Amino acid sequence: MSKNDVILPKDFPELKNDTFLRAARGEEPEHVPVWCMRQAGRYLPEFREIRAKKDFFDTCRSPEDCCELTLQPLRRFPFDASIIFSDILVIPQAMGMDVQMLTGKGPTFTDPLKEPEDLQRLKANVDVNKELDYVFKAITLTRHKIEGKVPLIGFTGAPWTLMSYMIEGGGSTTHSKAKRWLYRHPESSHMLLKMLTDVIVEYLLGQVAAGAQALQVFESHAGILGPVEFKEFSLPYLRDIARRVKDRLKEKGQDVPMIVFAKDAHYALEELSASHYEVVGLDWTIDPRSARERTGGKVSLQGNMDPCALYAPKELISDIVKKMLEGFGTRGYIANLGHGLYPDMDPENVAAFVDAVHQHSKLAVKQA
């Protein structure tokens, strides 16, 4: 395939490993599927090599680079799913905000939202096919180049997480600027959350049309909200996104599993399991057995090994994985970390994690 060929979202290679999709739908495949959040990342020397040549968001805007970075971890590890290389902050960019990725500092907005009047600066009707076309192209190209090895997951940031970045202007420990809006400007907060929800719905539908076989919604900043604020400012939008995406896909006779990952939102597990998502992603602060009890078999679960357990010796990783599998069981379960991989992690220990999931779960499924 030459670089100038038009790559269309059709005639994709046949999927050879559907363990992830079956587990997402509540089945028990022959082994528990496993992937890692941030599996394309700086812990891989081949990732650092590509990233060293280009600015972060320029990399995100290059379908060829996104495809290569998405495929890199699959060449090393027998993951059962892949996630498209991109970032959640492409949405604020599409709405007209300038965001840079600064080395050592992380995402940085040039001109964050300060007061409700600033909402007027945002583009209200974002044409995702124009503004985020580069993500759709990356998905289509990657789905072809993955050759049906594993499914490709598309993703988005959830409204509250994106809103907090747009107001804080970058990372924050207290998120107090963004939370100030919730308490002081609740109406404008809802207006912004609604605007984001509308863009996110179109963005996710565009990703499916481009070839995404599952969708994950990252509410990374759920934990900074308490249960009352979560119920008012996060949950209704998470629900709305799943319902609208599913309804629109249904009209076309399509259906893709959706995963919600609301980090540190253990207080809302019951509500999350009744929010129209097939899969609820968990961070490591939740005990697997109690997560199963509280979600009452309504959803599949994904997670949740402490990423820092990858600093342990390989034998200990294997023991930790075995206990995690015993807690979750092997039906309707997708193994993952409780959050992303860190740049200083050893790829060999990632391999040990993946192997441990496959080996222990194969035995458990056979013995059942």
Nearest residue (CB) to ligand CP3, 28 versus 264: 264
Shortest separation between residue 315's beta carbon and ligand CP3, angstroms? 27
HSE-CB at 89 with a 13 A cutoff on CA atoms is 22
Kindly tell me which of 60 and 360 has the beta carbon lying closer to ligand CP3.
60
42 catalytically annotated: yes
CB-nearer residue toward ligand CP3: 195 or 217 = 217
Output the smallest distance, CB 124 to ligand CP3, in A.
Answer: 24
Alpha-carbon distance 199 to 241, whole Å?
10
If the CB atoms of residues 57 and 330 are measured against ligand CP3, the closer one turns out to be 57
- For residues 254 and 162, what is the distance between their CA atoms, to the nearest angstrom? 27
Residues in the chain: 368
Closest approach of ligand CP3 to the CB of residue 65, in Å: 11
Contact footprint for ligand CP3 (CB under 6 A): 37-42, 51, 56, 83, 85-89, 101, 106-107, 155, 171, 218, 220, 340
Q: Is the CB of 251 or the CB of 344 nearer to ligand CP3?
A: 344
Could you tell me the smallest distance in angstroms from the CB atom of residue 362 to ligand CP3? 25
Determine whether 87 is an active site residue. yes
**Beta carbon of residue 137, minimum distance to ligand CP3 (angstroms, whole number):** 16
Shortest Å distance, C-beta 36 to ligand CP3:
8
165: annotated active-site residue = yes
Classify residue 4 as exposed, middle or buried by CB count within 10 Å of its CB (0-12, 13-18, 19+): exposed
Phi/psi for 155 (5° steps) reads -155, 170
Residues 6+ apart with CB under 8 A from 58: none
Candidates 22, 43, 80, 165; catalytic one:
165
Task: Identify which of residues 56 and 134 has a Cβ nearer to ligand CP3 in the complex.
Answer: 56
Q: Catalytic residue at 289?
A: no
* Whole-number Å distance between alpha carbons of 189 and 63: 33
Q: Which of 25, 76, 87, 118 is catalytic?
A: 87
Marked catalytic residue, from 18, 22, 38, 80: 38
Q: Are 212 and 153 in contact (CB under 8 A)?
A: yes
**Residue of 25, 51, 76, 294 marked catalytic:** 51
Q: In what side-by-side order are the strands of the sheet with 82-83?
A: 82-83, 152-157, 214-219, 258-262, 279-281, 300-305, 333-337
3-state secondary structure of 187: helix
Residue 192's contacts (CB-CB under 8 Å, 6 or more residues apart) are: 113, 119, 122, 159, 163, 166, 181
- State the minimum distance, in angstroms, from the CB of residue 98 to ligand CP3: 15
Report the phi/psi class of residue 14: left, alpha or beta, with left for phi > 0 and alpha for psi in -120 to 50: beta
Between CA 254 and CA 204 the distance in angstroms is 13
Measured from each CB, the residue nearest to ligand CP3 is: 220
**Terminal Cα distance for the chain, rounded:** 46
Residue with tokens 């670089």: 3
Active site residues per annotation: 38, 42, 51, 87, 165
